[in-house]
Chains A and B, each alone.
Chain A
Amino acid sequence: MYKLDQPPLLFESSRPGRATAILPGSDVPDRPLDAIIPASHRAERAPALPELGELDVVRHYTNLSTLNMSIDANFYPLGSCTMKYNPKRNERLAALPGFSAQHPYQDESTLQGLLALLYELQGMLAEIAGLHAVSLQPAAGAQGELTALLVAAAYFRDRGEKRTQVLIPDSAHGTNPASAHLAGFEAVTIKSNAQGLVDLDDFRAKLGDQPAVFMMTNPNTLGLFDPQIGTIAGLLHERGGLLYLDGANMNAILGVVRPGDMGVDLMHYNPHKTFSGPHGGGGPGAGPIAVRDHLAAYLPAPIVARNDDGSYRLDHDRPKSIGRVRSFFGNTGVLFRAYCYIRSQGPDGLKDIARHAVLNANYLMQLVKDVYPVQYPGRCMHEFVASARTIARERGIRAMDIAKRLIDYNFHSPTVYFPLIVPEAIMVEPTETESRETIEAFARVLRAIAEEDPASLHDAPHTTPISRPDEVKAAKSPVLRWRATPTATS
């Protein structure tokens, strides 16, 4: 971040008649436009987009980019988001026309390289999950959840069963209950116990005779591995229910333990977290799902299949499939990078990711937990949730103040106020790609902030072009787009 002022809006920089030459004139025989498209379908004028020169556009976006923090420039310990390094080699490969210029409806004979790659990726994701079949179609984690729940619903319907309830821990991501609702289920909340794990008594009490699915995040959003998962799977399976794993936190267990081996029946991955896809300022992600063999028939179509002669095809002939959750094959660009990443790691590298992600998180927790108490102490996995409740009570410094002040020190803020079950939550995920020096520097700053003047912290950050935007005003009288005002002149 250079911390310069924001540039004017594109529309405010527009000058009539300014333009960039991009396209040539027409080289086909000239015909009156009316002979091509009837006037009744045509607009009188093109939309009033801004009129800019190429250098205007380049300066505008270059300057805008400097107002962002990013992994390339900053430590970005945003809990639950796994902001690890995004390898440059993957970007260069994804830009090759052998990938980027491929159309989804090309003849399969012209896609054999790409289909081979995606087929291999399906296999690797099944192996890492300890499950049997994979759909690469869902566009993001939340869409993966929805897809998996629709698969579960189709499975139950096929068996002639009417199961209506999806059980979800109170520490879960908000997407879990939202996805359950969209898939036609009732979301039932399961309490966490004093250790931050699933409250087994509450789980048993709400399980009923016909549970549909339990959606478990393990390690959970508190950064804790829940060892009761085998017991939970057993209780569910006895009653014909399915265990779903929200794979948001797969970074912690890669190559250490496989969800399928613990009784998980279906799960989604977040390749933009676990497998290094760049987060893009808010997307794109991808949300491939893996399922046990008895659920494979219900996966969305198509999946990549291998022919007897060793060639590959897109298998659309899946009569029990739930259909589609999006157009075309999937967020292939993100999946392609995940493939490159997994191939760069190999089996030992994958396990090292989990080991060092967990090592870095535990080390950082050790360096700060006397100032920022961790409600559920002991060993954390890839992230931990500290709390500002002590300094909030004693000095009036809140989690938000700390998040904002860190920006002055060139650190991105951790996730704050999530999970909802921890007051003044500060959720920190350093990831495996950060060095010990960075972690120690961050810990020093975090400790120092706790000693700073509370009044000054309430106004932090102090070095950024803007500070403490008025969010209430933004929501109360929404201004969601630029509009030409009558007084604006060219």
Chain B
Amino acid sequence: MAYIANTDDDIRVMLQAIGLDSLDGLFDAVPAEYRLKGPLQVPPALSELELTGQVSELLARNAGADRRVGFLGGGCYDHFIPAVVDQLAGRGEFYTSYTPYQAEASQGTLQAIFEYQSLIAELTGMDVSNASLYDGGSAAGEAMLMALTITKRYGRVVTASTVHPEYRQVLSTFLAEMEPQLETVAAPTGAVTADAIVAAIDDRTAAVIVQYPNFFGQLEDVEAIVAAAHARGALAIVIFDPISLGLLRRPGDYGADIVVAEGQSLGNAMNFGGPFLGIMGCREEYVRKMPGRIAGQTTDRHGKRCWVLTLQTREQHIRREKATSNICTNQGLLALRSSIYLAVMGPGGLRQAAELSARKAHYAAERLVSVPGVSLAFPGPFFKEFVIRVPGDSNQVLAEVGRLGYHGGIALGRWYPELKDAILIAVTEKRSRGEIDGLVGAYNEVVGRTTR
């Protein structure tokens, strides 16, 4: 009877009021032949004390960034989360409320969404942002569908092998029952070139989708790629890293049409990959084609400034099958956390997070290539992630580095058969010089042993 308030006396009074003599009578509408004859086969109930013990015991079998020094990235990063984010987002008034359909009962959430949209617009240099989507991967998918609707070109969508492999899987799943083909441009140097992109675009191409910094951490010539897309009448969709914008140019400043990102880095825990935050921004002229909720400013009957959900005629609860997307919920709590993060970090703090991550990543790369047998896989500039090659099988190297207390990177062979000896390493501002030196020592020991 966890969380149920009705006493035996209440049950008696309530059943009497509705003219029944048993709780089972409530389900008369369910044909008897279908009703469960016995109890569900699930484990017996646990008290809070028992639950806490059992779940804690299970979690103690994991060893994440809490128990090993973490150098894992690939779209999910161990950036620092200021205490104010947890404390403020942990207020029940925020996390136990729902979609702000009744504006008078939800001005807190509505203003927070409006501020989130404003922060994302300023961060990216785009005109507008929505109230958030599920995650970076599905946001990329939604951006692609949006571009198809805007351009009405249903032939092709061009992307690059340097875009997150799981995002590309989402793109192809979204296109599975549709006409357009997904064209993936190869990038042997770890960075796709504008020339290679140009060669793939035809006059029925709706969009070019690239990632900057890309999945390998490399900085491609994104401005030339955006220009190439525009020259052929396609939209440019850029997947960005929000932390990188403390240092790198904003997508709005180099002409992107639609931008999406995984917003986890902005104050959200890694949580084994979700819930995360799908960021989406676009140019003003495309706002009515944008999926998801949007908050807008207006005035109330006294002329006072306030906020409401707006442009709802795009959405499924009004337009049904003609909606811009089937999306209903946003990731409200994650968007709130990211707003609090950006507010407390400010421009200086964001810049510091970006610069520290970049400096430490470059220090780590420089030290790692001093290990005999280890080299950088790609020659171009990178931000906070880079790829090394190791002698032999990267999975085996990583397993041994793991035993020395490090999550030493991500083996790339599962997505890129030609990179079976390659490891993707991410470094955030949280990693100290000592921890990086420790990682280098671990690689030295492991790789040194295999090369000897």
A105 nearest in chain B by CB position: B410
Does chain A have a CB within 8 A of B197?
no
Most buried by B among A65, A114, A181: A65
Q: Which of B229-237, B244-252, B438-446 contacts A (4 or more CB under 8 A)?
A: B244-252
Q: Which of A143-151, A385-393, A446-454 contacts B (4 or more CB under 8 A)?
A: A143-151
Q: A104-B272, A173-B328, A434-B5 are in contact. List 4 more A-B contacts (CB 8 A).
A: A104-B273, A113-B61, A127-B41, A283-B330
Does chain B have a CB within 8 A of A117?
yes
Does chain B have a CB within 8 A of A27?
yes
Inter-chain contact B299/A470, CB cutoff 8 Å: yes
A258-289 CB contacts (< 8 Å) to partner B: 258, 261-262, 272, 276, 278-286
Query: What are 6 pairs between A and B in contact, CB < 8 Å?
Result: A22-B345, A23-B349, A28-B433, A103-B270, A111-B62, A178-B326
Inter-chain contact B138/A475, CB cutoff 8 Å: no
From known contacts A433-B3, A436-B6, infer whether A366 and B17 are also in contact, taking CB-CB under 8 Å. yes
Q: Of B15, B108, B112, B429, which one neighbours A23 at CB under 8 angstroms?
A: B429
- Rounded to whole angstroms, the CA-CA distance of A154 and B44 in the bound complex is 38
Which residues in A have their C-beta under 8 angstroms from that of B80?
Answer: 22-23
Inter-chain contact A461/B104, CB cutoff 8 Å: yes
Which residues in A have their C-beta under 8 angstroms from that of B378?
Answer: none
Inter-chain contact A49/B350, CB cutoff 8 Å: yes
Inter-chain contact B321/A407, CB cutoff 8 Å: no
Does chain A have a CB within 8 A of B187?
no
- Rounded to whole angstroms, the CA-CA distance of A116 and B62 in the bound complex is 10
- Rounded to whole angstroms, the CA-CA distance of A137 and B132 in the bound complex is 19
Q: Nearest 10 pairs between A and B by C-beta?
A: A98-B59, A328-B273, A184-B177, A346-B45, A72-B92, A327-B137, A280-B333, A113-B61, A282-B332, A104-B273
A304-341 CB contacts (< 8 Å) to partner B: 316, 322-334, 340
Which residues in A have their C-beta under 8 angstroms from that of B339?
Answer: 10
Inter-chain contact A99/B272, CB cutoff 8 Å: yes
Which residues in A have their C-beta under 8 angstroms from that of B330?
Answer: 282-283
Q: Of A41, A66, A142, A261, which one neighbours B34 at CB under 8 angstroms?
A: A261
Which residues in B have their C-beta under 8 angstroms from that of A300?
Answer: 173
- Rounded to whole angstroms, the CA-CA distance of A94 and B275 in the bound complex is 12
A436 nearest in chain B by CB position: B10
Query: A327 CB to closest chain B CB, in angstroms?
Result: 3
Does chain B have a CB within 8 A of A445?
no
Which residues in B have their C-beta under 8 angstroms from that of A50?
Answer: 343, 346
Inter-chain contact A49/B346, CB cutoff 8 Å: yes
Inter-chain contact A103/B70, CB cutoff 8 Å: yes
Interface residues on B, range: 35 or more
Q: Which of B48-56, B153-161, B201-209, B368-376 contacts A (4 or more CB under 8 A)?
A: B48-56
Which residues in B have their C-beta under 8 angstroms from that of A262?
Answer: 34
Which residues in B have their C-beta under 8 angstroms from that of A175?
Answer: 316-317, 326, 328
Inter-chain contact A475/B311, CB cutoff 8 Å: yes
A5-62 CB contacts (< 8 Å) to partner B: 6-7, 9-11, 18-20, 22-23, 26-29, 31, 33, 36-38, 41-43, 45-52, 54, 57-58, 60-62
Does chain A have a CB within 8 A of B21?
no
Q: What 0/1 pattern do residues 425 to 439 of A give for CB contact below 8 A with B?
A: 000000011111000
Does chain A have a CB within 8 A of B196?
no
Does chain B have a CB within 8 A of A370?
no
- Rounded to whole angstroms, the CA-CA distance of A256 and B134 in the bound complex is 32
Inter-chain contact B84/A58, CB cutoff 8 Å: yes
Which residues in A have their C-beta under 8 angstroms from that of B90?
Answer: 91
Does chain A have a CB within 8 A of B392?
no
- Rounded to whole angstroms, the CA-CA distance of A152 and B76 in the bound complex is 31
Does chain A have a CB within 8 A of B363?
yes
From known contacts A326-B135, A327-B137, A330-B273, infer whether A46 and B351 are also in contact, taking CB-CB under 8 Å. yes
Inter-chain contact B128/A83, CB cutoff 8 Å: no
Which residues in B have their C-beta under 8 angstroms from that of A256?
Answer: 27, 30, 35-36
- Rounded to whole angstroms, the CA-CA distance of A412 and B97 in the bound complex is 10
B105-147 CB contacts (< 8 Å) to partner A: 105-109, 111-115, 117-119, 121-123, 125, 127-129, 131-132, 134-138, 141, 145
- Rounded to whole angstroms, the CA-CA distance of A110 and B405 in the bound complex is 11
Inter-chain contact A174/B134, CB cutoff 8 Å: no
B40 nearest in chain A by CB position: A347
Which residues in B have their C-beta under 8 angstroms from that of A98?
Answer: 56, 58-60, 62, 64, 66
Q: Which of A199-207, A237-245, A477-485 contacts B (4 or more CB under 8 A)?
A: A477-485
Inter-chain contact B359/A26, CB cutoff 8 Å: yes
Does chain B have a CB within 8 A of A442?
no
From known contacts A68-B107, A281-B99, infer whether A33 and B355 are also in contact, taking CB-CB under 8 Å. yes
Q: What 0/1 pattern do residues 143 to 165 of A give for CB contact below 8 A with B?
A: 10110001001100000000000
Q: What 0/1 pattern do residues 298 to 339 of B give for CB contact below 8 A with A?
A: 111110111110111101111111110111111111101001
- Rounded to whole angstroms, the CA-CA distance of A159 and B311 in the bound complex is 42
B297 nearest in chain A by CB position: A479
Inter-chain contact B11/A343, CB cutoff 8 Å: no
Inter-chain contact B112/A473, CB cutoff 8 Å: no
- Rounded to whole angstroms, the CA-CA distance of A280 and B131 in the bound complex is 13
Which residues in B have their C-beta under 8 angstroms from that of A111?
Answer: 62, 64, 272
- Rounded to whole angstroms, the CA-CA distance of A26 and B359 in the bound complex is 8
Which residues in A have their C-beta under 8 angstroms from that of B70?
Answer: 103
Does chain B have a CB within 8 A of A421?
no
B68-117 CB contacts (< 8 Å) to partner A: 68, 70, 72, 74-76, 78, 80, 82, 84, 86-88, 90-109, 111-115, 117
B345 nearest in chain A by CB position: A22
Q: Of A83, A141, A470, which one neighbours B300 at CB under 8 angstroms?
A: A470
A255 nearest in chain B by CB position: B40
Inter-chain contact B164/A327, CB cutoff 8 Å: yes
Does chain A have a CB within 8 A of B188?
no
Does chain A have a CB within 8 A of B271?
yes
Inter-chain contact B40/A469, CB cutoff 8 Å: no
- Rounded to whole angstroms, the CA-CA distance of A216 and B330 in the bound complex is 24
Which residues in B have their C-beta under 8 angstroms from that of A183?
Answer: 177
Which residues in B have their C-beta under 8 angstroms from that of A394?
Answer: none
Query: B66 CB to closest chain A CB, in angstroms?
Result: 4
Does chain B have a CB within 8 A of A466?
yes
B190-227 CB contacts (< 8 Å) to partner A: 219
Query: A232 CB to closest chain B CB, in angstroms?
Result: 12
Inter-chain contact A69/B247, CB cutoff 8 Å: no
Which residues in B have their C-beta under 8 angstroms from that of A72?
Answer: 92-93, 96
